[in-house]
Amino acid sequence: MKKLVQLIRNNASRDPVKIRAEGDAATIYLYDVIDPYWGIGAAEFNKTLAELSGQAVTLRINSPGGDVFDGRAMATAIAQHGNVTAYIDGLAASAATYVAIAAKSVIMAEGSFFMIHEAWTMAYGNKHDLTETAALLDKIDGSIINDYAKKTGKSVEEIAAWMKAETWFTAQEALDNGFVDSIGDAPAANNRWDLSAYSNAPKIEQKQDNSPNWEVVRQRNLNRLRLHEIG
């Protein structure tokens, strides 16, 4: 739980889901942590996707991941929509990976990263509540392993070992192992994420950005203050 709080605290922005509509097609941007309070949650995302029923959807992803349950709910909605193509623009880590592979096809930008590990969530309550949450996470891990195995053709044992080790894949490695279907021509987007909550995160070159969004900065600081109260 502490690692998930750290990930959210360091990356919280609470930007709304961004959409660009073009005729019968639309693009959704998942450029945030996956969390219902300090990022983009399943309720907001799924409502947006439902409003695009019947349209071809491009889902652009640059996300450090977040809560497993919201990620799973988003993945279910994507699979049910059907006509979704995912582009990994910079990073798909943790919960963002199974959001990505729920699409009918996955394209990954050169220079991007794809990371899988065992599921994270937040839990509160007594020892019985926490034991139940741990058991549920174990089941969720099994479901995620099966999804990765179905996408890649790899054995569940190999997938489980990768998840336990927190494994980071380059675009070429993700393609070679079957997590994505192709590598795009466009370079990766700016990776602005603080990945210190992860154990094996690679050092990713940051692109210079001299035009900060001060409203986003202000909101992030407010959210971090709120998270310190529960951290």
Asked whether the predicted pLDDT for residue 212 surpasses 80, the reply is no
pLDDT score for 109 = 94
Per residue in 143-196, pLDDT (tens digit) is 999 999 999 999 999 999 999 999 999 999 999 999 999 999 876 655 565 666
DSSP 110-173: ET-EEEE-S------SSHHHHHHHHHHHHHHHHHHHHHHHHHH---HHHHHHHHHHTEEEEHHH
Per residue in 41-99, pLDDT (tens digit) is 999 999 999 999 989 999 999 999 988 889 999 999 999 999 999 999 989 999 999 99
CATH code of the domain containing 219: 3.90.226.10
Alpha helices in 51-126 (DSSP H): 68-81, 95-101
91 vs 228, which has greater pLDDT?
91
Q: How far apart, in whole angstroms, are the C-alpha atoms of residue 201 and residue 7?
A: 12
| Residues of the domain holding 222 | 2-228
pLDDT score for 89 = 92
What average pLDDT does the structure give for the chain? Answer: 82
Provide the number of structural domains found in the chain.
Answer: 1
pLDDT score for 8 = 47
pTM of the model: 0.76
The residue assigned the tokens 């990713």 is 204
